[in-house]
Chain A
Amino acid sequence: MGKHPHIIKLDRSNGQREIVANHWLRVAEGCDDTIPAHTLLPLKEWLERRDELLGRADVGIWFGPDDEPEALGQDAARLSIIAVDFPAFTDGRGFSIGRLLRERYGFAGELRAVGDVFKDTLLYLRRCGFDAFEIRADKDVEEAAKGLDDFSEFYQGAADQPLPLFRRRGG
């Protein structure tokens, strides 16, 4: 929860990445009044105030591992930012959440991995559609970013490259 100083931002169109300041505040619950700009609300709370918030590009959502992309559905396509929490890097549910948001519900904004995020899952996250990585505060951000390059070829299709290797081999 709260606000990390830096995130790694990946340009999905060309693979370039940079370390940028974080403008977004992730909260456990919102306030009764108007939600301040640059707030990431829990999915449940956003859904309760959907009609008020759907038009606001300066308010985003964050998913816990139990949250279902189905609950947001096609509204995903109208959001500018969604964060997915990984309470432990070994909890892979967020990978499925990322792919569903990107591949089924047309989410085109910033998909941000938060929580137990460091070098060794960045490439999997990238493949599942994530393009922003809030690296754990005690880890070296520059070192972590190198994890995006651990592999340069992949067998399966995924959010980053829908075509599996067998549709590209020798082509």
Chain B
Amino acid sequence: MYIYDDYDQQIVDQRVDQFRDQTRRFLAGELTGEEFRPLRLQNGLYIQRHAPMLRVAVPYGHLRSDQVRALAEIARKYDRGYGHFTTRQNIQYNWPKLEDVPDILADLAKVQMHAVQTSGNCVRNTTTDQFAGVAHDEIIDPRPWCELIRQWSTFHPEFAHLPRKFKIAVCGSVEDRAATWVHDIGVHVVRNAAGEVGFKVIVGGGLGRTPMVGAVIREFLPSLHLLSYLDAVLRVYNRYGRRDNKYKARIKILVKAMTPEAFAAKVEAEWSHLKDGPMTLTQAEIDRVAAFFTTPAYQALPAEDEGFARLRSENKAFARWVERNVFKHKQPGYAAVTLSLKATGVAPGDATDAQLDGVAELADRYSFGEIRVSHEQNLILADVQQADLPAVWEAAKQLGFATPNIGLITDIVCCPGGDFCDLANAKSIPIAEGIQQVFADQDYLFDLGEIDLNISGCMNSCGHHHVGHIGILGVDKSGSEWYQVSLGGRQGHDASLGKVIGPSFAQDDVPGVVRQIIEVFVEHRQGDERFLDVFDRVGMEPFKSRIYQKERAHG
């Protein structure tokens, strides 16, 4: 994992001082609320329904155990004993006091953490595959590139006040686990025919009010040019992105208006001035950063541990957990374990201080002291020996993190919704719980196979509902909360957006609607077909006619 040197540390320390001064001036009336707002947002601080909300950056989802302990301590000391992991692999606190935030930042800085650019109209936290570095299908480790992008984007003076927020995702594996097609910029680390490392660059994807799948503007960018090329893309966006209407201000609107071809040409023209300039990466810098992401000290182990295999064949519950929550590792005898933060009755993505401390302990004992956050809001121990899996399973059960549901319909991706968020039209957490209760029968749940269910409380789409196989969106209708359901969305290399099934539903009806969707799926299913396969084969109609046979929907 990346370790700060004196330069990195000084930058986050000075950020704490700067924000302390900004907070002081706001409280003293020297900064108006309107002036303070963009400044605090660039430090992840929202003023929400009940209290401020602070979003802390977890760069590309990587944490060390000491950092997780610090997050637990902050939850205890400044909040109500818990935090919420987000779809940007960050963590947010729902109950800090405004005047405490500078102290929280100072505590974070002690463990090389910060809240820089976790909100606001600037380049946000870069995200990647939660299995980066260990995935069996990885082509190139994306993490050094994520760190280089993190440094480039941190307090970039020219792009500090963009038309709108800007999100970059990087992927280096066969399967795209970083949703790169629905980001402002998606970067695929690839090799060309000559074996050189470079990037395929996608722009203009995004969810939100106007969801779009991005377009490739460069098939192969040689690796040394990554940052100067990003400068060119951002400069074109900064200058020409719309600023008159916040709903049309994302880069996707500009790319669509110009056409991807014209946008690409504009970027190339700008880049021709920047190419081979000082922002050209050096091999020494790439090597320096890559050295932080080397392989840990793996032991030489057999491909399958005997004790693990035995328990797996004897214990159904363990086998089930392995099938859902254990991911194939590139190193023989090792596995990556996903701790499910999706137990029924708990807000998806929430973790208490005790759970965080427990996870830190597990990481120290079993996984080289490192933890990852996935954009599906779960936690990962990336380097566990197979022989330790039974012990990790037992410990995860104690923590409440062993629900064997990764990739299943109850592994719900969900924003904080109307219970916490000021922007939301509708609640999302109670919807998630209602749906999870429908699928309480483990055998039934298991048989259904992979189904992504995503819930967003409003069009901002923090719950990524557009790319859920089943997507649920909270909408406001004359002051009451309704839910629109879409089917057929998906992330990955064949990313596409779900289609709305029909008129929206009242909150109490949503679990029943999901139950009906699943019933239709089961009736049409052939063999082990996945939900998506069935949907692609039979289309929307059977679902629609079942759900709307009774007069349940309104307007």
Q: Scoring B residues 18 to 33 as 1 if CB is less than 8 Å from chain A, else 0, what string do you get?
A: 1000100000001100
Is the CB–CB distance between B39 and A120 below 8 Å? yes
**B282 adjacent to chain A (CB < 8 Å):** yes
User: B5 on the interface (CB 8 Å rule)?
Assistant: yes
B17 to chain A: closest residue by CB: A150
- Quick one: closest B residue to A125, CB to CB? B157
A157, closest chain B residue (CB): B278
Distance in angstroms between the alpha carbons of A165 and B121 in the assembled complex: 24
| Complex-state Cα separation, A165 to B238, whole angstroms | 23
Q: Which residues of B contact A124 (CB under 8 A)?
A: 155, 157-158, 160
Min CB distance B388 to A, Å, is: 38
Contact of B238 among A96, A152, A169 (CB under 8 A): A96
Cross-chain contact A91 with B282 (CB below 8 angstroms) = no
Chain A hits for B482, CB < 8 A: none
Contacts of B154 in A (CB 8 A): 155
CB atoms of B152 and A92 under 8 A apart? no
- Return the contact of A90 from the options B18, B161, B281, B288 (Cβ within 8 A): B161
A164 at the binding interface (Cβ < 8 Å): yes
CA distance A83 to B269 in the complex (A): 26
A49 to B30 Cα, complex, angstroms: 42
Complex interface: chain A residues within 8 A of B152 (CB): 155-156, 164
The smallest beta-carbon distance between A40 and chain B, in angstroms, is 22
Contact of B239 among A96, A120, A153, A163 (CB under 8 A): A96
Contacts A155-B152, A156-B279, A166-B282 given: A92-B159 contact, CB under 8 Å?
yes
Question: Does A93 reach chain B (CB closer than 8 Å)?
Answer: yes
Q: How big is the A interface, by class?
A: 35 or more
Least distance between A151 CB and chain B CB atoms (Å): 5
Residues of B138-158 whose CB lies within 8 A of A = 151-152, 154-158
In the complex, what's the smallest C-beta–C-beta distance from B267 to chain A, in angstroms? 14
- Cβ of A159 to closest chain B Cβ, rounded Å: 8
Measured CA separation A152–B15 after assembly (Å)? 11
A99-B158 in contact (CB<8A)? yes
Q: How large is the interface on B (under 10, 10 to 19, 20 to 34, 35 or more residues)?
A: 35 or more
A91–B243 contact, CB under 8 A?
yes
Whole-angstrom CA separation of A90 from B152 in the bound complex: 20
Q: Contacts A169-B5, A169-B7 known; A91 to B161 CB distance under 8 Å?
A: yes
Asked if B538 lies at the interface with its beta carbon under 8 angstroms from chain A, I say no
Q: A90 to B14, Cβ gap below 8 A?
A: no
Q: Which of these, A118, A123, A165, contacts B7 with CB under 8 Å?
A: A165
A25 to B39, CA, bound (A): 31
CB distance from A39 to the nearest CB of B (A): 27
Q: A123-B157, A164-B279 are in contact. Are A93 and B239 (CB under 8 A)?
A: yes
Residues of B within 8 A of A126 (CB): 157
Cβ–Cβ contact B238 & A92, under 8 A: yes
Which residues of chain B come closer than 8 Å to A92, judged between CB atoms?
A: 121, 158-162, 238
Cβ–Cβ < 8 Å partners of A80 in chain B: none
Report the Cα distance A165→B30, complex, angstroms.
34
Docked-complex contact B22 and A120, CB < 8 angstroms: yes
Task: Knowing A95-B238, A104-B273, A153-B7 are in contact, say whether A167-B157 is a contact too (CB < 8 A).
Answer: no
Contact of A152 among B14, B35, B243 (CB under 8 A): B14
Please name all residues of chain A whose beta carbon is closer than 8 Å to the beta carbon of B243 when the two chains form the complex: 91, 93
Structural contact, B159 and A165, CB atoms closer than 8 A: no
Evaluate contact between B273 and A95: CB separation under 8 angstroms. no
Can you list 19 A-B pairs with a CB-CB distance of less than 8 A? A92-B161, A92-B238, A118-B35, A120-B39, A125-B157, A128-B157, A140-B30, A150-B14, A151-B14, A151-B15, A153-B7, A155-B152, A156-B157, A157-B279, A165-B151, A166-B281, A166-B288, A169-B5, A169-B7
- The 10 closest A-B CB pairs, nearest first, are A92-B161, A127-B157, A166-B285, A124-B157, A155-B151, A95-B158, A157-B278, A150-B18, A90-B161, A162-B278
Chain B interface (Cβ < 8 Å from any Cβ of A): 5, 7, 10-11, 14-15, 17-18, 22, 30-31, 35, 38-39, 121, 151-152, 154-162, 227, 235, 238-239, 243, 273, 277-279, 281-282, 285, 288
